[in-house]
Structure 1
């Protein structure tokens, strides 16, 4: 287990190199994001994703979300990107909005009982984005034991996950400190599954016909 200060430019480079190597080798990495800290694995390494679920004490009934380093990455993960998804991405990516979409059936991953869908987000954090652009799509969940408070610092994540994670990237306290807002785009109209970092008022400015949680 290694911890790297990613605020310092020198140790940040060392940390990113170690994290890239760890993720490519099937180990878990804790990274800072704009919302909360995340624990991640190569999304296409099924053994690593199982380790991620085990580290959190969580089963496959709650599928692992995926973080991407660019808008273009989403095009390779789905059969087609709905127009409303493009509008929401333009408005809120990178940022605290997660989108549930149908993934391409040809993908060789197993994120849990996802029913051919994936929850995907592009985070607004330079360390996370650099890691994602080097590794590719990563399965990332909040860096905490399931049922415990989400970690807003690397230290809080380390206190919970300990040596189950190979590399911890410390980027300081998470700016927002709450999880992302989730919008489900798999039905006829968008549905809010969770309100979080992006307010519903802001979402409605882009998708005025969105269904609220009470109506889902």
Structure 2
């Protein structure tokens, strides 16, 4: 029939959450037109979407997610032609980045018009926009005939979902529909660039590394703690599993074997997320991240959620990243971890 229905009682939310297959989008499109919230796949992570020009609908995203209202959303469009009437100005840097990376995992922050609801902008004079490449996301936008505003489809603060089942874990009973489009290709949220500054500012590292951005627009500065909060992922604790997470910032075998016993001595049941070659370490549970940043980015959030299901005393992540995609992995681990260990 194209869907599976689940029932879960939650006060103040719908009781039925239906998982739709990607070839049965009609109910999801109708729900979006009616001002409801729907979870859907993108190439980065799953999104929690509503009609991006319907302020009341967008406010329902914050309720379903438990998200602070001063945390802006991203408007998802089909292409630059959809920006007319939404942006007050499209700076040259934004035009170049859009030409180079859309559709894809890049969000640009540009001046907004009053047509963009305040809830989407979090009261700011800017809007974050991107054109996803995932075919299901694009069909939903086209079917709605309007931009879709969406953050990641997880409860606020939790690891972003990369599968429909991970969305269901957080959103069952909170939203009417989840569209299953398989596993997200990138596995981390989009790169966000503020194009209202000169030079442009990297607000959130993601699937497109800083070096690739520099190839297109020249200098790209990295946001600091004092930078304006114009993007998701800047202000609050994010990406964290329920279990305490300890990040070991080196994969040097001698260093890991020397410090690991001290790290886990206080934890009888602990989970390890690390390169595949470290599977032999004596953890209670192991999840391999592969051998490079591409595989680690794809697996990281699923690894956190999978290990969390065992309810361990602690989750230890061993990963050492450099630039490019590694900057995004480091950003997510930094925000998720309660403790970091590195060589002196």
1:117 Cα shift? 0.8
Structure 1 distance, partners of 2:143, 2:180, is 18
TM-score (norm: length of structure 2): 0.58
The answer for the alignment partner of 1:63 in structure 2 is: 72
Residue 103 in 1 paired to residue 112 in 2?
yes
Query: Does structure 2 retain, via aligned residues, the 8 Å contact 1:56–1:144?
Result: yes
Alignment partner of 1:173: what SS?
A: coil
Query: Does structure 1 retain, via aligned residues, the 8 Å contact 2:86–2:115?
Result: no
Q: Give the total of aligned pairs.
A: 209
Matches within 5 A, 1:53-202: 53-108=62-117, 110-135=119-144, 136-202=146-212
Alignment partner of 2:120: what SS?
A: coil
1:106 Cα shift? 4.3
Structure 2 distance, partners of 1:187, 1:214, is 13
1:45 Cα shift? 1.7
> Per the alignment, do residues 53 and 76 of structure 1 end up closer, same or farther by CA in structure 2, a change over 3 Å counting?
same
The answer for the alignment partner of 1:9 in structure 2 is: none
RMSD value over aligned CA atoms?
1.6
When structure 1 is superposed on structure 2, of 111-120 and 97-106 the one drifting more is 111-120
The answer for the alignment partner of 1:4 in structure 2 is: 20
TM-score (norm: length of structure 1): 0.91
Structure 2 distance, partners of 1:75, 1:211, is 28
1:212 Cα shift? 2.4
Structure 1 distance, partners of 2:129, 2:200, is 15
1:203 to 204, 213, 218: 213
Cα distance per residue 1:162-184 (max 9 Å; x no partner): 12111111010000100111100
Look at both structures and tell me which one has the larger radius of gyration over its CA atoms: 2
Cα distance per residue 1:78-125 (max 9 Å; x no partner): 122111111100111011111111111344553252411111111110
Structure 2 unaligned blocks of 5 or more: 1-16, 228-344
Structure 2 distance, partners of 1:120, 1:109, is 15
The answer for the alignment partner of 2:340 in structure 1 is: none
> Per the alignment, do residues 149 and 86 of structure 1 end up closer, same or farther by CA in structure 2, a change over 3 Å counting?
same
Structure 1 distance, partners of 2:102, 2:94, is 11
The answer for the alignment partner of 2:223 in structure 1 is: 213
When structure 1 is superposed on structure 2, of 70-79 and 124-133 the one drifting more is 70-79
Structure 1 distance, partners of 2:110, 2:121, is 15
Structure 1 unaligned blocks of 5 or more: 7-11
The answer for the alignment partner of 1:45 in structure 2 is: 54
